[in-house]
Amino acid sequence: MNIWLGLFFVVALAAPPMPGVAVALVAIGLAVGLARLNEWRFERGLLPGALIVFFGMLAISLAPALLESGSEIAAQSLTRLALAGIAVYVFFYTSAGPGRQPSRLTAPSGPRLTAPFGRGSGSGLEAIGGRSMLGLVYWAALASAAFACLDFFYQFPAPEGTGPQFIWLDTGMFRRAQGLFYEASTLGNLCAFFVVMTAVALVRRVGNRMVLIAGGALFVAALFFSYSRSSLVNAGLAIAVLLWMERRQPAVRRMAVTSGAALAVMIAALAWIVPDYMTAFWTRLRGSFEYALAGDGVFLSGRVDSWKVLADFVRDHPWHLIFGVGYKTLPYSDFVGTRVVADNMYLSALVEAGIGGLIALVVMNLTILRAGYRAARSGDGERSFYGAWIFCFWIGESVQMMSADVLTFWRVLPVYFWVLAMAVRTAAF
């Protein structure tokens, strides 16, 4: 029974910020896992080990957080670690626990939530029964992207605690699209994830092509309105990897032409509907490439200053590289001299969890890529679909980690780890 997991995904992706409800659903999931201990089947492997070691290193860093920054900051670090740990539990619940069993999420006589992943030649998604959850996740994410577009156009009141992220245009000041999340980067990252899924589904001929193209256009629109350059790079790099990996598939050329035409039409429509915004977006994107080629840190939007602060701290206090200063203490503590948002997952891991944390992060990324690639080449229809999806996306995600703390996006990270679990899990018992 995976109903709690489906409800959690809906709340996490398509509901206003309700951390209390999300945590309550996770507590139910923990209770389900404990009540069905006899159904867990743990297997030794690089991927489970890499996940445990990485989050173990983050847990070890709570000790210096307590010693150096005090109990209040350490409590916040523990909370953030627990939220990040939800994704790990979802992975193990789905790959090794009761979540391995099929779940339809509907009454026996009701319709299955499979669209747009209905019948498609060679989909193989009927094998284990993951389609109903995939359909639920897809529609929840699509609803979230649709709301984000409306949020950008109508500038709905932002939830309490939302980061101040604005765009200055000739027609006024606008808040970047963030939808139901606290920041625009989370929305952009989620949209990139499902843009990659759309590309994989089209190449693998899974689902209804027209529905996928329409949904993909909505995800791309929300991605543009999030104003997240790193998420756009993530999606572009992932799709480039997919096209190379599947270059011998006959559907690749057709998908590239169809999707390219649809993208051109959508961009033209956006340029007509919001011309000043699209002009500002392309100017910012072009300027980013020009500054990057010139070696100018301006295109990193102030990140270089934060990196210099952390680099100076590490140079002056190298002994802190042993255990770090504590997971997620940098944004809340003045221990390094000022409060800093690293906006770089690798640098954040190094400073907060030490050299061991950085090595564990790199190993975890490589292990995820290895597992995804092996699943993509497995020949199993369902595992191959999920494997290609997570492999291509995680390449882009690993690059995006250089300019964003993507592993702190606790509301969307469990979905990514669920897809990873679907790619590596064995047949349900």
pLDDT of residue 284: 65
347 alpha carbon, distance to own chain's centre: 19
393 — pLDDT class (breaks 50, 70, 90) = very high
Q: How many CB atoms lie within 10 A of CB 143?
A: 17
Tell me the two tokens of residue 97.
Answer: 């626990």
8 Å CB contact between 188 and 231: yes
Angle at 391 between CA 390 and CA 393, to 5 degrees: 65
Tell me the two tokens of residue 429.
Answer: 């018992």
Cis peptide before 98 (omega within 30 of 0): no
Tell me the two tokens of residue 80.
Answer: 């953030």
Tell me the two tokens of residue 164.
Answer: 């101040």
| Res. 245: pLDDT tops 50 | yes
Q: How many CB atoms lie within 10 A of CB 209?
A: 17
Beta bridge pairs of residue 175? 166
Q: Residue 257, class by beta-carbon neighbours within 10 Å (0-12 exposed, 13-18 middle, 19+ buried)?
A: exposed
**3-state SS record for the chain:** CCHHHHHHHHHHHHCCCCHHHHHHHHHHHHHHHHHCHHHCCCCCCHHHHHHHHHHHHHHHCHHHHHHHHCHHHHHHHHHHHHHHHHHHHHHHHHHCCHHHCCCCCCCCCCCCCCCCCCCCCCCCCCCCCCHHHHHHHHHHHHHHHHHHHHHHHHCCCCCCCCCCCEEEECCEEEECCCCCCCCHHHHHHHHHHHHHHHHHHHHCCCCCHHHHHHHHHHHHHHHHHHCCHHHHHHHHHHHHHHHHHCCCCHHHHHHHHHHHHHHHHHHHHHHHHCHHHHHHHHHHHHHHHHHHHCCCHHHHCCHHHHHHHHHHHHHHCHHHHCCCCCCCCCCCCCCCCCCCCCCCHHHHHHHHHHHHHHHHHHHHHHHHHHHHHHHHCCCCHHHHHHHHHHHHHHHHHHHHCCCCCHHHCCCCHHHHHHHHHHHHCCCCC
Q: How many CB atoms lie within 10 A of CB 164?
A: 8
8 Å CB contact between 366 and 405: no
**What are the structural domain ranges in the chain?**
3-424
Alpha carbons 178 and 184: distance in angstroms, whole number: 4
Tell me the two tokens of residue 303.
Answer: 């990140």
Mean pLDDT throughout 294-323? 76
128 — pLDDT class (breaks 50, 70, 90) = very low
| Res. 228: pLDDT tops 90 | no
231 — pLDDT class (breaks 50, 70, 90) = very high
Q: How many CB atoms lie within 10 A of CB 308?
A: 11
Q: At what angle do helices 131-154 and 413-424 cross, to 10 degrees?
A: 160
8 Å CB contact between 128 and 428: yes
Owner of token pair 């989620």:
190
Which of the residue ranges 143-152, 265-274, 288-297 would you say has the lowest mean pLDDT? 288-297
Of 140, 165, 142, the C-alpha closest to 8 is: 140
Which of the residue ranges 71-75, 86-90, 278-282, 306-310 would you say has the lowest mean pLDDT? 278-282
Q: How many CB atoms lie within 10 A of CB 139?
A: 17
Contacts with 336 (C-beta within 8 Å, 6 or more apart), sequence order: 309, 310, 313, 325, 330, 351
289 — pLDDT class (breaks 50, 70, 90) = low
For 143-197, the pLDDT digits (tens) are 999 999 998 888 888 777 677 677 767 676 778 888 889 888 999 999 999 999 9
Which of the residue ranges 32-41, 115-124, 386-395 would you say has the lowest mean pLDDT? 115-124
Contacts with 275 (C-beta within 8 Å, 6 or more apart), sequence order: none
Of 374, 330, 362, 370, the C-alpha closest to 348 is: 330
Quick check: pTM over 0.75? yes
8 Å CB contact between 376 and 388: yes
